[in-house]
Chain A
């Protein structure tokens, strides 16, 4: 069967073979996981079960249950003083992944360009290409803590550049931006009339300063599509539940695509989402505290054993350089896996320019992290 040229030309996940190797190996200590190691808090799971017992098994409105949208609007208001009208400016999506896809599709004409920081989450360039657009990758540097600089964005803007995709705290680097840094980015966005797709799914896992949603900055609401979800904050990855907020026009356009392709997010997940936001966030704070400790431990150990890394500001990843030991992160990861049974993700998975780095996830128990660090240490000693 003939495959579409666009899909055929999509960068094949060169990493697939490595992933298969990891998935088929037994007794691996994995630092390669992009999701929390906590199970969803019981109150939320219990609510999902109860909703099934109550017979909540139908479609919901395309935009998502109004009660859930109200809860999200209330949460954003309370948490960030961020006002979105839950009727017109909000859409419940099947995770942020779907949100980004339909967000890009809603704004992009064929051939238009989108700025993306590199390294970035794997789907960013792909959704742009699938929408017929052209991703322009902006390389970020360990020297700047893997942050985009305003100058860099300014220089890259030009003919045909329509939007910027930004993810902070960032998967895979853990980089995030202070309010001051975001103001600079906002200024450049204003200058070039950029649309910003802001993926803030790790917002509650920001450790050194308060997270600032881009949309809260003056004048930004009209050019920002704000994405967030339940996966990371409440350890609900498998529920596939997120939301997008933005000007009513773009949310209307996204809802059009969503209604034809996804129809609605699963009602059980939406019921669970309502319960998640109803709590006092004590469970969220407990998880955050645990991540903070592990972050300190991992960064300190990695630097001790020679894998230089900066202190990431958020998420649950560190992104150390392996350049002292290898120029090829895929080879490094494969060799480490085979010899020491520790899995991590080669940096090149997140962009070609990120050769020489690996992503280490500390969404793993302290005991695992401790053992993994010992194994990596002994691996590096014999290298």
Chain B
């Protein structure tokens, strides 16, 4: 992966000026490359990783991972059904996977009831969907390479030779 993308993937708020300093490139070169990536859709969007467990919201959203087995469509493969599924806004991510089922779908809803209803009325009833298995997420430990628990303070001395 390009170094600029690596830096942005870690910290979306970093400025082109700072990236230029870190990579030894000119500011305009960095800006142009970022623009190009945005235009090409390589950079999809800039977002923030939030540990929602720390927000004391009265009604936290619930998430579930759903294994979906489907019958592939002639000439269309899995893509046709996948698109029908991921077009629902409730679906946060959708992957085609190898193994005993086909699609791994992450769904978010207000509570267990809403998610269950979505699965029952939308997902499992969809034609070509053969079977679903729903796993509600109980606790999030690590997301996108980041452990969500704050690490202990490091023991390193503040000064040493």
Show the binding face of A for B, using Cβ within 8 Å: 19, 22-23, 25, 28, 30, 32-35, 37, 39, 121-123, 171, 293-294, 296-297, 300-301, 343, 345, 349, 366, 370
A116 to chain B, nearest CB (A): 15
User: Knowing that A293-B3, A296-B23, A366-B11 are A-B contacts, what are 7 other residue pairs whose CB atoms are under 8 Å apart, sorted by A's residue number?
Assistant: A22-B158, A23-B157, A28-B158, A171-B161, A293-B22, A294-B22, A296-B21
Closest residue of chain A to B151 (Cβ to Cβ) is A39
Residues 11-24 of B, flagged 1 when their CB comes within 8 A of A and 0 if not, give: 10000001001111
- A122 partner residues in chain B, CB cutoff 8 A: 161
Q: Are B22 and A296 in contact (CB under 8 A)?
A: yes
Q: A39-B154, A293-B7 are contacts. A32–B21 as well, Cβ < 8 Å?
A: no
Beta-carbon nearest neighbor of A21 in chain B? B159
Whether A345 contacts B159 by the Cβ 8 Å rule is yes
A28 to B160 alpha-carbon distance, docked (Å): 14
Shortest CB–CB separation between residue A149 and chain B, in angstroms? 25
How far is A368 from B159 in the complex, measured between Cα atoms in Å?
15
CB <8 Å contact, A32 and B23: no
B146 interface residue (CB < 8 Å to A)? no
In the bound complex, how far is the Cα of B158 from the Cα of A296, in angstroms?
23
5 contacts between A and B (CB under 8 A): A22-B158, A33-B157, A33-B160, A39-B154, A296-B23
State the Cβ distance, B33 to closest chain A Cβ, in Å. 16
Complex formed: what's the CA distance from A349 to B11 in Å?
Answer: 36
A375 smallest CB distance to B (angstroms): 15
- Smallest Cβ-Cβ distance to B14: which chain A residue: A366
The answer to whether B22 and A343 have CB atoms under 8 Å apart is no
> Which B residues are in CB contact (< 8 Å) with A23?
157-159
Contacts of B11 in A (CB 8 A): 366
Q: Which residues of A contact B84 (CB under 8 A)?
A: none
Closest 3 CB pairs of A and B: A32-B159, A293-B22, A30-B158
Closest to A18 in B: B159
**Residue of A294, A343, A366, A370 most packed against chain B (CB within 10 A):** A366
- Give the distance to chain B from A118, nearest Cβ to Cβ, in Å: 14
Partner of A33, one of B3, B21, B23, B156: B156
A34 x B156 contact (CB < 8 A): no
Cβ 8 A contact of B158, one of A32, A123, A294, A349: A32
With A and B bound together, what is the CA distance between A121 and B161 in angstroms? Answer: 7
Tell me the B125-156 residues at the A interface (CB within 8 Å).
Answer: 154, 156
Query: In the docked arrangement, what's the CA distance between A81 and B11, Å?
Result: 39
Q: Considering only CB atoms, which chain B residue lies closest to A31 in the complex?
A: B159
Query: Bound state CA distance, A37 and B154, in angstroms?
Result: 9
A24 and chain B: residue at smallest CB distance: B158
**Residue on B nearest A28 in the bound complex, by CB:** B158
Verify A343–B158 contact, CB threshold 8 A.
yes
Which residue from chain A places its CB closest to the CB of B20 in the assembled complex? A300
> Which residue of B23, B157, B158 has the most chain A CB atoms within 10 A of its CB atom?
B158
Q: Once bound together, how far apart are the Cα atoms of A300 and B26, in whole Å?
A: 12
Q: Is the CB of A30 within 8 A of B21?
A: no
Give the docked Cα–Cα distance between A98 and B80 (Å): 66
**C-alpha gap A294/B23 in the complex (Å):** 9
CB distance from B123 to the nearest CB of A (A): 37
The answer on a CB contact under 8 Å between B24 and A296 is yes
